[in-house]
Structure 1
């Protein structure tokens, strides 16, 4: 089957495709990025999953980087989930494995809670943000994580943040903090499909206790850890994360 390698735009969202071309209603994986970023830092994982035969789609959420013009202002978490739903339905995708990192986990939780028929399984990588933790402390955790990440990731993130813009980033951060305090865990409790919560062993953003707590909220949740990785384990250890996802897809415990 033809392999997708170039980006394209549907429902206002710039999207990268990897692996076999997605057939309407066919099996697929959707990777959802974190705050202020684009899908670029998911490319190593997307390529590894595609090498295993998966059809992988990586959209830039509205207001971010190559989908920046899709929103006039920074959307809230619920608005991002709604935009992802419209994109998903326009592509006529079947039930998807949703893989998200950081604040993207909040978007996926809202999406899965509202549209369970569109979700096969959920993978949460380094989920953020933890309720009850101040915005200042959350920023401190992110800064502490930076020296633990590969230089390549820092370059990608810095460029993406500049394109998204500091004002939009700040507004998006406020939206995400509000969602974490009011909605995130409630949305997770509504998810009935199997969920895998993954953290890097050196992640300063998503603690071991927090990830275990989230896995316990989901009806069928489990946890896994990637040794030697930090918050963006999917970038620094794509093979290890892909192995966990592939085992999870066939019912393994990760």
Structure 2
């Protein structure tokens, strides 16, 4: 793994450098976090020869200093698009987790030529749901996650800062109510929606709705996992992404 500031964002790279004509997989983290919790998944994807890039989004963790104020979801998606363009990546497999799915949806909807496939892992936040209800779902999910993940997340939240986490959550709630479903409906790329059956944050009904909103969407459940299935079951998620990425366009 290599990690450094790259095209304006701190970026971890797994596998070979990006190569022209071969798709790169980009992993987009959730609210207040860094790309560190993607390491188990990224290593497994890279083991098959895939180039995997994991940026810390602007305002988060090791990219905290690249912005002075907390960006809204549209600004984060625009920053991801600039990063993608500066690296000349070509069509990518864009993978988001949790609120990162909102970033991926916005990016894919507005830059269809930059995305070959999208994978939405536990897409949050569900529109028209109160903040307190979201928070309650998060608290219910925590005991279902590995302790190592909880420790990693706590460190990242402190690095990002509680004020920025709170502002980012407010921006994400507004985006969920105003734009998330519209962006999903505009995604042209084949899209896989993945939900752990033990996820208390993303309901089964919402996961199916997300897949139904995307013109070429499909949903799959991963038994025995919660919100961060990519961390607790990286082999399973890596296999799903590899198989989905290898399919012919339809």
Secondary structure at the aligned position of 2:231 is classed as helix
Distance of 1:101 and 1:180 partners within structure 2:
14
Counterpart in the other structure of 1:54: 50
Output one character per residue of 1:105-163: Cα deviation in whole Å (capped at 9) or x when no partner. Answer: 00000000110000000000000000111011101101110000001100100000001
2:90 equivalent to 1:94: yes
Counterpart in the other structure of 2:79: 83
2:114 equivalent to 1:121: no
Distance of 1:96 and 1:25 partners within structure 2:
10
Tell me how far 1:172 sits from its aligned partner.
Answer: 0.3
Gaps of 5+ in 2: none
Output one character per residue of 1:207-237: Cα deviation in whole Å (capped at 9) or x when no partner. Answer: 1110000000001000111111100000000
Report the TM-score, using the length of structure 2 for normalisation.
Answer: 0.97
Counterpart in the other structure of 1:72: 68
Distance of 1:213 and 1:251 partners within structure 2:
23
How many residues are paired up? 248
Structure 2 residue corresponding to 1:161, chosen from 135, 157, 161: 157
Contact in 2 for aligned 1:126/1:197 (Cα 8 Å): yes
Distance of 1:11 and 1:69 partners within structure 2:
14
Tell me how far 1:74 sits from its aligned partner.
Answer: 1.1
Secondary structure at the aligned position of 1:7 is classed as strand
Contact in 2 for aligned 1:98/1:108 (Cα 8 Å): yes
Structure 1 residue corresponding to 2:179, chosen from 164, 183, 205: 183
Cα 1:47/1:63, change in 2 over 3 Å:
same
Counterpart in the other structure of 1:174: 170
Counterpart in the other structure of 2:4: 8
Secondary structure at the aligned position of 2:2 is classed as coil
Tell me how far 1:11 sits from its aligned partner.
Answer: 2.6
